[in-house]
Amino acid sequence: MHIPQGAWTADDLDRVPEEVGRCEVLDGVLIVMAPQRDFHSAVMWRLAAALDGSAPEGWRIRTEMTVRLGGKSRPEPDLVAVAPSAVLGPQRTWYLPTEVPLVVEIVSPDSEHRDRVAKHLKYARAGIPHYWRIEEDRGEAVVHAFELDAAAGYYVETAVERRKLVLERPFPMTIDVDRLYP
């Protein structure tokens, strides 16, 4: 495996061998992700299906694709909604912030700080309009939906839902949160 001198770059991520597992780069640091828990896996796939069913023509829902946030950060959200204007291709390994109006992180014990603080701030600074963080509370999913206040440069929480999430942006949707897990 090629280990760069100094900080890792967003481009270095494409040279990490697949056998290393899922990785992301944040502020020049390579982060190897821990195995997913059942909660994480179930919520990710059920939410992807629900979003895909709500998405208008031309929108795409992707799991575990990185978003390039400059030269030294390429986080891997659990889900992204890809705008119709994005150019897709089978060899593509990352998206730009302008191509993903929604990023979703499902919090795991090893990712709490990254998902609640570091990525939250980075996605806002990159101008991504919508950020959702999904937490587990007593075996149930809780969705925290945020919308970017572009003038202030930070996210404002617009919803906290355990049962049914109804939103108009980035596209109209109704998500049965209580069916995301188990």
d(CA 79, CA 147): 16
CA dihedral 50, 176, 107, 71 (to 10 degrees): 40
What is the value of pTM for the model shown?
0.95
Residue-wise pLDDT for 18-62, tens only, equals 999 999 999 999 999 999 999 999 999 999 999 999 999 999 999
Dihedral sign for Cα atoms in the order 117, 62, 22, 39? positive
Local structure of residue 83 (DSSP, 8 states): P
What's the burial of 87, exposed, middle or buried (CB within 10 Å: 0-12/13-18/19+)?
exposed
pLDDT band (50, 70, 90) for residue 182? very high
3-state secondary structure at position 14? helix
Which token pair is 44?
């990710």
Local structure of residue 57 (DSSP, 8 states): T
Show the DSSP H helices in the chain as ranges.
38-54, 112-113, 119-125
**Domains (range + CATH), the chain:** 35-179 (3.90.1570.10)
Residue 145: its H or E element: strand 140-149
d(CA 155, CA 62): 22
Residue-wise pLDDT for 78-103, tens only, equals 999 999 999 999 999 999 999 999 99
